[in-house]
Chain A
Amino acid sequence: MNNKHLYWLAGCLCLLGAGLFLYKSLVLKFPVIPEKQAQIWNIEAKVLYTSAEGPAKVQLSIPRGNHRFSITDEEFISSGYGLDIKRKAGNRQAAWTIRHATGEQVLYYKATVRPRTDSIETKLTTPKVPEIEYVEAQRVAANAIIAEAKNKSADNESFIREIIVRLNKPVTQGANDPLSILIRPKATTVQRLEVATQLLAIENIPARIVNGIQLVDFDRHTKYVRWLEVYHTHEWKSYNAATGQPEIPENYLPWWRGDKSIANVTGGKLVSVKTAVSRNDESALISALWRQKAIRPFLYEFSLLALPLDTQNVYRVLLTVPIGVLLLVLLRNIIGIKTFGTFMPVLIAMAFRETQLLWGVILFSLVVSMGLGIRFYLEQLKLLLVPRLAAVLITVIVLMLAISLFSHKLGIHSGLSVALFPMVILTMTIERMSIIWDERGARESLKQGIGSLIVAVLAFLVMNIELVRYLLFIFPELLLIVLAITLLLGRYSGYRLLEIFRFKVLAAR
């Protein structure tokens, strides 16, 4: 019979899923629970350029390990390119070269960053200080600032701080401010730091700008952070670019040094360089497997970890959707809760990830109730269905914009995330709610609306469990088990919980 076929299918899926899971966890020793203490980050730079139909050379600065972090497992993904890695002036540079490139080209650099536990002893020779070529007016201004800083400081340490603090002050144009001769009023951090290195060079103190990224849980498009490295008491010390304190946050990874940009292209036009970072939840075990290339397992090659970082981050989100959908099936077919639209609550739950729960609920209720108000007004105009839906959709977007602008003015940044709600889903929800409102009354309409919201919140809570997210990402074969459960639920013919109350009269006999 039909059911036998289904049980077979579900059984096979379960076995396959559970088998892969057990093999990976028991034989390959993939950890089943996330190991918090193992902090490893994957970093990635993606260079995009358009070639000028000929030979091309792409130079990309790549990070170099320091006393805090070590860089391992470097990979350069670039088919057909020659690769050369050079060290110079505290930097490492990868140079990709090709004889003939056409059209848009993408090059990847991937590496793993680990915090250092051992200390490294390196012999440093005192670096040379560059000759600063200032014109007369600049030299006078520079000397004035240096003298001022010296007055306020006792030693090198405090002198460096005073210089940085002084350079961070606003520039008052023409008001006898020596700073206005050295930098423009709207100078960037890099430009200010560049002047700082020059001033320190005059005092014979070697200094350099450091460009880095922050090692966070995950960021698909990181911004660069800048600070200053100054050589004194026989070592390079890092100074905060804003405060001048000799310390920088622990998660700052230096990427390259100097005031140049991260990459340059000859024989083409650089379009973008995107750097991404994500914390790797996999233990050191997996990285160990990775390093021992000889025993690299087939499964690893086909795991999500082999994908580019930004794709991985997309799958981190997508892989939790089946769990939300499974919950939805349970709530609808076993409990009997009614929701607007089959998958609407799961899509709303995905938006909650970005907005945070409380704000998500507030923003959702706000948009839907305002949308309903406008929908009731449109009802009077007797519009045809499709133009009416379009009008509601446009209104929803305007409402979202208004909420964003308004909350931005009030300084509530959570309000900005309203833009992440799926607007077509919101539109359909508003339309369906208003129809049910007209035909079955406000009570029924609100009941279903609130029901949908509750399901969305539950879906969000389940999809956001750390362990669930981790397990599905490391063991995506668990989806086969989720699929099997869903298939079995598809043939569940027992009562729904709410039906039991509906038919209670019949049970009394």
Chain B
Amino acid sequence: MLGLIKNLHKAGVIGINKRNADYTLRYNPRRLYPLVDDKAQTKQLAFQAGIATPELYYTVEIEHQIKGLPAILEQYSEFVIKPAQGSGGDGIVVITGRRMGQYQKASGALLSQSEIQHHVSNVLSGLYSLGGQPDKALIEYRVQFDPVFENITYLGVPDIRIIILLGVPVMAMVRLPTRTSDGKANLHQGAIGAGIDIATGKTLTAVLKNHIISEHPDTGTHLEKIQVPHWDSILEIAAQCYEMTGLGYQGVDIVLDRDKGPLVLELNARPGLNIQIANSSGLLHRLQLVEQHIDSLTDTASRIQFARQHFGVNTV
């Protein structure tokens, strides 16, 4: 047991206590949390900073608006309903089309008009929000994901998570939904996490439920050495998110759209620690390196340069 702890320590693996005590509590002022906890605000900020996000169609803020919802949804064949303050992907409904007068979910299941309305009402009453406080429902553009991940995804939208410390991308992974994760991109629900080499943007080892795997369990495709397209701009977007929110330690979630390129899906002020498993590597050494050199890293370009230089596979 003690040996295990020693090895983890040596590998620089950080636990929740350390993340909270030394990173989120230190670098993320409480007053900035609403900027990322409320996706409507995040969108607004990103728009001002010139960072692309999925287009917002409509915002439902009060119960009364739900009545008029069908007329508004009429215009769109595909869309996503999201709680503005949801966490961990809960409460997100992806509609991919219509069949027999009903809405079709990504999984093929059908939802009636009233079921959609009830769901939106649940969102407004705060069922999915962090503290249970009243929430807004966002109706937005459904991402047409880039074919690069087509063979290694089962339903759902794969997304790229990058941890940034003081604007320096520290670690990255791509999360691939599986049949068991029900199309959701959460690792603890059974999605695959594959680490990404910061220097090149190529996938490294992949992990499913704490086990290292080389093939996607549903599609059988190899998961290693896949080049993530637009890697340069992805790094740039992630690095800019620091200036955008002021949060020193955050997780940036980015999706790749076939036509619109990288879009910021959401930001997270308390990013999870599974990224360490996906990368087979601890975060601590990288975080400490950034803390040591941060004085010399003054602009986005130098921060990205620093990350590529130090956090690539062949350099660590």
Q: How many angstroms between the C-alpha atoms of A384 and B121 in the bound complex?
A: 7
Q: In this complex, which of A492, A500, A506, A508 has the most chain B Cβ atoms within 10 angstroms of its Cβ?
A: A506
Are A506 and B189 CB-contacts (below 8 A) given A333-B17, A494-B18?
A: no
Are A435 and B277 CB-contacts (below 8 A) given A382-B118, A506-B282?
A: no
Partner among A333, A384, A385, A506 whose Cβ is within 8 Å of the Cβ of B277: A506
Interface residue? A250 (CB, 8 A): no
Interface residue? B280 (CB, 8 A): yes
Interface residues in A202-220 by Cβ distance below 8 A to B read none
CB <8 Å contact, B90 and A439 = yes
CB <8 Å contact, B13 and A493 = no
Q: How many angstroms between the C-alpha atoms of A462 and B186 in the bound complex?
A: 37
CB <8 Å contact, B15 and A494 = yes
Task: Considering the complex, give the chain B residue whose CB is closest to the CB of A497.
Answer: B1
Partner among A385, A491, A495 whose Cβ is within 8 Å of the Cβ of B5: A495
Partner among A493, A504, A508 whose Cβ is within 8 Å of the Cβ of B17: A493
CB <8 Å contact, A507 and B11 = yes
Interface residues in B166-209 by Cβ distance below 8 A to A read 189, 207
CB <8 Å contact, B125 and A384 = yes
CB <8 Å contact, B210 and A502 = yes
Interface residues in A450-509 by Cβ distance below 8 A to B read 491-496, 499-500, 502-509
Interface residue? B16 (CB, 8 A): yes
Residues of A within 8 A of B211 (CB): 505
Q: How many angstroms between the C-alpha atoms of A385 and B301 in the bound complex?
A: 48
CB <8 Å contact, A495 and B17 = yes
CB <8 Å contact, A495 and B15 = yes
Partner among B1, B18, B132 whose Cβ is within 8 Å of the Cβ of A493: B18
CB <8 Å contact, B210 and A499 = no
Are A505 and B11 CB-contacts (below 8 A) given A333-B17, A382-B118?
A: no
Q: How many angstroms between the C-alpha atoms of A499 and B127 in the bound complex?
A: 28
Interface residue? A299 (CB, 8 A): no
CB <8 Å contact, B212 and A505 = yes
CB <8 Å contact, B280 and A495 = no
Q: How many angstroms between the C-alpha atoms of A388 and B8 in the bound complex?
A: 45
CB <8 Å contact, A493 and B11 = no
CB <8 Å contact, A385 and B18 = no
CB <8 Å contact, B125 and A505 = no
Interface residues in B68-127 by Cβ distance below 8 A to A read 90, 114, 118, 121-122, 125-127
Q: How many angstroms between the C-alpha atoms of A385 and B124 in the bound complex?
A: 9
Residues of A within 8 A of B4 (CB): 500, 504, 507
Interface residue? A124 (CB, 8 A): no
CB <8 Å contact, A499 and B15 = yes
Interface residue? A440 (CB, 8 A): yes
Q: How many angstroms between the C-alpha atoms of A499 and B126 in the bound complex?
A: 30
CB proximity of A295 to chain B, nearest CB, Å: 49
A-B contact pairs, 14 of them (CB 8 A): A385-B122, A385-B126, A385-B132, A439-B90, A492-B17, A493-B21, A496-B15, A496-B17, A500-B1, A500-B5, A503-B276, A504-B210, A507-B11, A509-B280
Known: A382-B118, A502-B277, A507-B13. 10 other contacts (CB 8 A): A382-B114, A382-B121, A385-B132, A440-B189, A495-B17, A499-B16, A500-B8, A503-B277, A505-B207, A507-B11
Give A residues with C-beta under 8 Å from B.
333, 336, 382, 384-386, 435, 439-440, 491-496, 499-500, 502-509
